[in-house]
């Protein structure tokens, strides 16, 4: 069956470092992947979309890569700040269906 998976363990990094989060998918080939940020008690907020023919996408301190050979997307936050602490979700559609979400990775940036 189609799966989209994220490392469920929390990621703890020091302020100023680059955070790298991983999203892997199996048994399907999504046309695009999306990344969301979710703060406690709030709904997910859309950050970036990367299509299968794009290797990399950037937005301010955020960078997303999409490797269709490895079936993986990496999400980077450079010069991380304590305000970046949140849960980050990756998501993709399976065919024409609505987005399927990973379980999210909690990022904690220490000052």
Partner 1 sequence: EAGVAQSPRYKIIEKRQSVAFWCNPISGHATLYWYQQILGQGPKLLIQFQNNGVVDDSQLPKDRFSAERLKGVDSTLKIQPAKLEDSAVYLCASSTGRVGGYTFGSGTRLTVV
Nearer to partner 1 by Cβ, of 15 and 39: the residue is 39
Shortest approach of partner 1 to residue 52 CB, angstroms? 12
Q: What is the dihedral angle through the alpha carbons of 46, 57, 96, 101, rounded to the nearest 10 degrees?
A: -50
Which residue's structure tokens are 């999210």? 104
Token readout for 78 is 């450079």
Stretch that binds partner 1, among 12-20, 44-52, 57-65, 77-85 (CB under 8 A): 44-52
* Cα 66 to Cα 75: distance, rounded to the nearest angstrom: 9
Shortest approach of partner 1 to residue 109 CB, angstroms? 20
Using CB under 8 A as the binding rule, whether residue 58 contacts partner 1 is answered as no
Binding site residues, partner 1, CB under 8 A: 6, 8, 31-32, 34, 36, 41-47, 49, 89, 91, 97-104
């Amino acid at each position: 069956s189609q799966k989209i998976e994220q490392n469920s363990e929390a990621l703890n990094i020091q302020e100023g470092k680059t955070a790298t989060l991983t999203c892997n998918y199996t048994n399907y080939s999504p046309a695009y992947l999306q990344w969301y940020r979710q703060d406690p008690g709030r709904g997910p907020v859309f950050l970036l979309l990367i299509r299968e023919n794009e290797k990399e996408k950037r937005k301010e301190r955020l960078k997303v890569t999409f490797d269709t050979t490895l079936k993986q997307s990496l999400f980077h936050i450079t010069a991380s700040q304590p305000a970046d602490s949140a849960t980050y979700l990756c998501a993709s559609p399976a065919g024409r269906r609505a987005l399927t979400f990973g379980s999210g990775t909690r990022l904690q940036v220490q000052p």
